[in-house]
A = this chain, B = another copy of it.
């Protein structure tokens, strides 16, 4: 008898996996390359949180890149986490050439600890590498009744206003703010107008990028979604100055300075790229990329309960806002990702065939069991 459900299940089986299956595999990869069990679990949690939150550009598809960095001795999997200098509310951390996935959770916990006594805690990190989704760290503050802040610099793909070449990263900021009855406000966004990963997807599908976001190596505007691989660059958020693009430049620059200049990591154009996008320019010292974390104890200002009620009012007033034709609601930052987490935990996570192939190769190379 023909079973439509079985066929569907069979089709789904090829690309859908349970959260736990993927988590376990990811953890085993990290353990195999030298992370402790606890660090590997933590790193897997960050990547899998990206998958759950539908930010797959920062999930499993990053594993090959991390393995590459490790094979090429660009990172170590046994880094020494060193507090170089500290005050009551601050610390400068040297990540010891470790992955951000290892160093960043410790740095954010340090910020939270500082905030417990000083009201706020601020930790700048140098000598680190890719740390996954910025939002993960900001959200660590939520259960402590704190506002969490997280930012990082990255590969130079964004041209400053009037600049010809990519000199700044897509430099994300995340801010997580607790509410009472409402779920928390969680903004987690690249300060550039479009994520690199989204351009990859458009390119794969043979689609153009929206107008006004990209320029080629001569500085001509282009909609060619693959242009970053051909020495093109992203414009800043806002685009041209008449539309406020110089404000986007300011935002991206501020993230670069707080994340990299303040701790003494490689800043803007001196970041040694981790990707095939930017030509390797390994001249100069490699002090890694940098991150900046903040934890603000709510009751360092007003009582947490009062604030959270007030935050409910904020969220509700935007939730019930009148909308423009064709849209039924204003989206509260963090809502789509939270809905996605619930859905994917229940129904599983889809992995593209391309990524699966790369993960299988990793499993073979590292001699660990593959899940598919």
Contacts and interface: CB of A to CB of B under 8 A. Distances in A.
* Interface residue range, chain A: 35 or more
A199 interface: no
A257 B88 CA distance: 25
Contacts of A269: 317
Interface in A304-337: 306-307, 310-311, 313-314, 317-318, 321-325, 327, 329-331, 333
A162 B317 contact: no
Given A164-B324, A333-B250, A300 B187 contact: no
A44 interface: no
A129 interface: no
A133 interface: no
Contacts of A95: none
Contact of A330 (B163, B297, B301): B163
A283 interface: no
B190 A118 contact: no
A120 to B, nearest CB: 5
A132 interface: no
A264 interface: yes
B90 A88 contact: no
A169 interface: no
Nearest to A250: B187
A165 interface: yes
A237 B246 contact: no
Interface centre among A219, A247, A253, A329 (most CB of B within 10 A): A247
Interface string A252-289: 01101110011110011110000000000000000000
Interface stretch (A2-10, A25-33, A207-215, A357-365): A207-215
A325 B247 contact: no
Interface string A90-125: 101000000000000000000000000111101010
Given A215-B324, A264-B310, A318 B85 contact: no
A86 B86 CA distance: 21
A90 B244 contact: no
A191 B246 CA distance: 11
B118 A88 contact: yes
5 contacts: A90-B119, A122-B300, A165-B321, A246-B331, A263-B302
The 8 closest A-B pairs by CB, nearest first: A87-B119, A219-B324, A193-B244, A187-B250, A162-B327, A90-B119, A90-B300, A89-B89
Interface of A: 84-90, 92, 117-120, 122, 124, 147, 159-165, 167, 175, 177, 185, 187, 189-194, 210, 212-213, 215, 218-219, 237-239, 242-244, 246-251, 253-254, 256-258, 261-264, 267-270, 296-298, 300-302, 306-307, 310-311, 313-314, 317-318, 321-325, 327, 329-331, 333
